[in-house]
Structure 1
Amino acid sequence: MGTSNWIRMKVRIRRKTSVVFGVMVFLVLELQFYTFPYLNELSSSLSNTNNPLPKKMGTKFDSMGFLEVSPPDNFTKLAEAVGDVGLFESSSRLFSLGDQGEVSNILSVKRDFEMPDNAKEMLRGRHKKAALPLATHVNAKMVGTPTENPLMVPRKMPTLGAEATALAAKRKRSYPSQRTSVSSTGNSAGMSRFLTGEDQAGKKRSGNSYSKKPVRISPLEKELLSAKREIYRAPHLENVRELYAPLFRNISMFKRSYELMEKIFKVYVYKDGGSPIFHKPYLRGIYASEGWFMKLMETSKYFSANDPSRAHMFYLPYSALKLRSATNATGATRQKFLALYLKNYISMLAAKYPFWNKTHGADHFLVACHDWGPQQTRLHEEVKLNTIKALCNANPSKGIFKLGRDVSLPTTYIRSGQDPLKDVGGKPAHERQTLAFFAGQMHGRVRPVMLQHWEQDTDMKIQGEMPDRIQSKGSYRENMKSSRYCICPRGYEVNSPRVVEAIYYECVPVIISDDYVLPFDEVLNWDAFAVTVREKDIPRLKEILLSIPDHRYRMLQLGVRRVQKHFLWHANPVKYDIFHMILHSVWFSRLRQIRI
């Protein structure tokens, strides 16, 4: 054999050897990719009993601390385990991991925050096979309480670990696959009782599906989803000409949400139901809010939909006050009759029209200001669990008002049905000489305690009910107009008309009602124009008020004057008034429910 032939044979052997070696390396790498995650998972589960990832998930962490997930379906499981409890916060907006049912919503956030144990490794993820837009470096904060004033309501994050896996399993069992989710939230400890998104609705609520199967949604729901995304991406605003920024949790998101509501939101008002319980608003007294909303909603040219197929929501136009007056029964029998009446009315609508059954009432809402309003909804399970209820008696501790879904309706005392703005206004801050004022009946547990401690105080006017002849001369209103602080204690129920009265008369409200969800609390920062005192601190009431420096009081009083426009009724609604704010609360609650 010649030298040239020998050289050619050597080259061929080397080429074949290189090919074989390459194939072997490829097979080894593939074997590592599909086998080592399970070995790694087994190893980490033995060393870490709190590993929250579902078993046989095919997960591991590489040398840089990134989570590696092999099959695409594992992203659904990961979202179940941590997606709905994770939250990223940036300077002006919130981003929720798994908000759209996938992990591809992870966004890069610039700031560095503290994170719980093993949270960073779980959330700093990348996918090796599917080209999902994941950030490779996530420096974010997992939070349960916001540190700024975001409009969008965060969801409370339980401890990552076994609890997360249990939560995912529970949601799989509890929530049927539906197109809408009625989410409920809880109050946070800080940020003026801001809603934290704690799940309180229970197993029977209409819930969002975590199923891998795609769910068809209607064009109207697509509109709401598109609006929700736009609100998340709202451009940052420092100042808005029509709004006073310190009043809002996040003025940028509120303004964008309000604009989208004006642009697309349509409500169908049912024509069914006879007078006086339906379609006949009562416009005077302390329960006037439900009447004024009914009147303006039924006559609205911008929000009313004549075609129900084009409506995003459906309004049940009944009066809780008139329903209460419609029976001569008393006590528990009377309350049961009222609840049964409303239940039969809604059952009739469900049998007559397809709209209720389509979402089990999740896209319906009612407005009730009477104290018995919540009790009137208790016999209809879908109303109780799914329907958005705008209630003056906004007390979540009784189990009917659901935080994050139901809406706190302002209790407004209207003295003239023809002129709801009568007597609005008050003295400037430097002319208010009385430290605090309260006069009223001794309803409930709080007022007698307050009277016992402060009736004899000379700096504060704390007294019982005023005689009618003194009230008729306007002494009650004049005292509110000339006092620095107006005390607003709860009565039999958590709400009080004095809160909005104080705003009307430009007096800083002092709210004493532990379980009260304040109106528009999802968007308004009540700390900017009100003082909240816990019921147990009534003996320290004067000390608390005197501890507020003068410059702080003047800022609070300025906030009261600026927020007043959001609590005023007008015969013809104007932008950002109380009618639009109530409607925005309903709109915003509906957006929170819409998920894929």
Structure 2
Amino acid sequence: MSEKSMISSKLLFYTITVSTLLFIVSSLFFLQRSDSSFTSSLVRKLILPSTDLKNEQTDAKPVSCGVLKVFMYDLPSEFHFGLLNWHKKGSETWPSVKNVSTVPSYPGGLNRQHSVEYWLTLDLLASETPEVKRPCSAMRVKNSKEADIVFVPFFSSLSYNRKSKVSGNETTSVDRLLQERLVEFLKSRDEWKRFGGKDHLIVAHHPNSLLYARNSLGSAMFVLSDFGRYPSSIANLEKDVIAPYVHVVKTVSNNESASFEKRPVLAYFQGAIYRKDGGTIRQELYNLLKDEKDVHFAFGTVRGNGTKQTGKGMASSKFCLNIAGDTPSSNRLFDSIVSHCVPVIISDQIELPFEDTLDYSGFSVFVHSSEAVKKGFLVTLLRGVTEDQWRKKWERLKEVVRYFEYRFPSQPGDSVDMIWSAVSHKLASLQFDVHRKNRYRRAEVFERSLST
């Protein structure tokens, strides 16, 4: 190489190095000056290695983990654990989660199937508690400007289940009053005003929860069971997260899971048969299948020994029918998954949790409603599934069960961990939308300052 070429190469190397250093310095300066929590968080992740995230904190407790930074409001206890009859002591807002045995428990039965906000709140409290070992998927931060998302800890499903009926001399239910207070509180907060609530996360998993407030808070990201009772302008896949129901039957261990030949029932369904709206298909299928000798299709409830009976029935069946009811989804799907009973999903409007990560066709069978109600179609289809084909879905079911378990403390890949991951996936489009709307924001502020 000639001397001139060597000088040119060195000059190019020095130019690139200096440019890179200038970019890093300017980015760090921007990070300090920017008033956008979305932008600052994103730049941190792009220009700083994960080890440096620990060192950039100035307070006494360095951040040990956390991909998603979550600011959680300290709402009064009547919005959350007070609904579980937890009574605070002194000035405390939250129960201690250091000892699992002292954590307020959630009521059982069908109440439990919509307890998503309870598990997410516990997980955020645990992120501040070094004694609790959990994944590093999300952590609570005290400064809302550092947060990627703002979490609203309102136990909306429990409020609906326990406080939606008017009693005594009341003219308005406690549930409605709590919703009205929540709207008033959020609308007054600088955190809400900053992006019009778009960076807020609100759980409304029961289809009837947040009934009075959902329109006022519709700009927020919702965690829902489905979109069955929401207009698309309020809830949609672009901004919201679908979370699994909490299953009510006992999880079957892999070692105890019955194989193909030990499951004598071809298809299993037990539940409410006569439903309104989209659920009328249940009655049609009942009339078609009730006399099939290897099909169990019967009315059932969770009362008495109902849940245990359902779990036993699913665990001894090859396929479990998951049919649309009053809403597109139900906890029956997740009961069948933890029973290792291959789900047959007959619900055209259903949205499924974590579908950006999971391919449900690997462990489920999908059937259009119009096809399912044709005489002989469904049983012919299921009887045509070979043992080898069924076994592949069964093996996959045993692998994915962990994604549909709610735990405290949370575990890697469980429902809580997966929900935080799903929220993170939504942030890119959320940031894009906010940044587009902020194009002329600084110029408008500058013009207003000049005019004054």
Q: Kindly tell me: are residues 503 and 362 of structure 1, through their superposed partners in 2, closer, same or farther at Cα, counting changes over 3 Å?
A: same
Given the alignment of the two structures, is residue 588 of structure 1 paired with residue 425 of structure 2, yes or no? yes
2:193 counterpart of 1:357: yes
| Match in the other structure for 2:299 | 464
Instruction: Quote how far apart the aligned CAs of 1:589 are.
Output: 1.1
By relative contact order (CA 8 Å, sep 6+), the higher-ranking structure is: 2
Q: Name the % identity.
A: 20
**Alignment match of 1:313 (pick from 138, 149, 167):** 149
Classify 1:437/1:565 alpha carbon distance in 2 versus 1 (closer, same or farther; 3 Å).
Answer: same
Q: Show structure 1 runs of 4+ deviating over 4 A.
A: 225-230, 276-281, 333-341, 421-425, 466-470
Give the deviation of 1:491 after TM superposition: 1.9
Contact map agreement 2:205 2:224 (CA 8 A) in 1:
yes
2:75 counterpart of 1:272: yes
Whole-angstrom CA distance in 1 between matches of 2:212 and 2:81: 15
- 327 and 499 in structure 1: CA distance in 2 versus 1, 3 angstrom threshold: closer
In structure 1, distance between residues paired with 2:424 and 2:318:
35
| Gapped regions of structure 1 (runs ≥ 5) | 1-215, 231-261, 416-420
Q: CA 1:347 to 1:374, structure 2 compared with 1: closer, same or farther past 3 Å?
A: closer
Equivalent residue number for residue 268 of structure 2 = 437
Encode CA deviations 1:211-233: one digit per residue, 9 max, x unaligned.
xxxxx773642433776999xxx
Question: 8 Å contact 1:268–1:305 — kept in the other structure?
Answer: yes
Corresponding residue for residue 228 of structure 2 = 395
Select which of 111, 122, 126 maps to 1:295.
122
Deviations 1:345-383 (A, max 9, x none): 1332332x3111111111101112212136344330xx2
1:260-300 deviation line (CA, Å, top 9, x unaligned):
xx643111111123325566563533223332233223333
Q: RMSD of the TM alignment (CA)?
A: 3.3
Paired residues of 2:125 and 2:140 also in contact (CA < 8 A):
yes
Q: What CA distance in whole angstroms lies between the structure 2 residues aligned with 1:377 and 1:480?
A: 38
What is the CA distance between 1:503 and its match in structure 2?
Answer: 1.1
Q: Distance in 1 between matches of 2:155 and 2:310?
A: 29
Structure 1 counterpart of 2:87: none
Structure 1 pair 226/310, CA: closer, same or farther in 2 (3 Å)? closer
Aligned to 1:13: none
Cα deviation, residue 552, structure 1 = 2.1
CA gap of 1:574–1:470, structure 2 versus 1, over 3 A, is closer
- The one-letter code sitting in structure 2 at the alignment partner of 1:452 is N
Residue from 522, 526, 539 that aligns with 2:360: 526
Question: Aligned residues, how many?
Answer: 340
Question: Using a 3 Å threshold, how does the CA distance of structure 1 residues 219 and 560 change in structure 2: closer, same or farther?
Answer: same
Answer whether contact 2:166 2:173 (CA < 8 A) is retained.
no
> Following the alignment from structure 2 to structure 1, what is the Cα–Cα distance between the partners of residues 194 and 81?
24
Output the amino acid matched with 1:320. S
Q: Alpha-carbon deviations, 1:547-569, whole Å to 9, x = none?
A: 33332222111111111111112
**Which residue of 447, 452, 461 maps to 2:287?**
452
Q: How far apart are the structure 1 equivalents of 2:360 and 2:368?
A: 15
> Which consecutive unaligned segments of at least 5 residues does structure 2 have?
1-33, 49-64, 85-105, 129-135, 436-452
Alignment pair present for 1:575 and 2:412? yes
State how 1:544-555 maps to structure 2 within 5 Å: 544-555=381-392
Does structure 1 residue 371 correspond to structure 2 residue 201?
no
| Residue pair 2:157, 2:206 contacting (<8 A) in 1 also | yes
Secondary structure of 1:266 counterpart: strand
Match of 1:482 in 2: 316
Give the AA of the match of 2:388.
Answer: H
TM-score normalized by the length of structure 1? 0.52
Q: Who is 1:537 aligned against?
A: 371
Aligned residue identity for 2:152: L
Is the 8 Å Cα contact of residues 396 and 403 (structure 1) preserved in structure 2? no
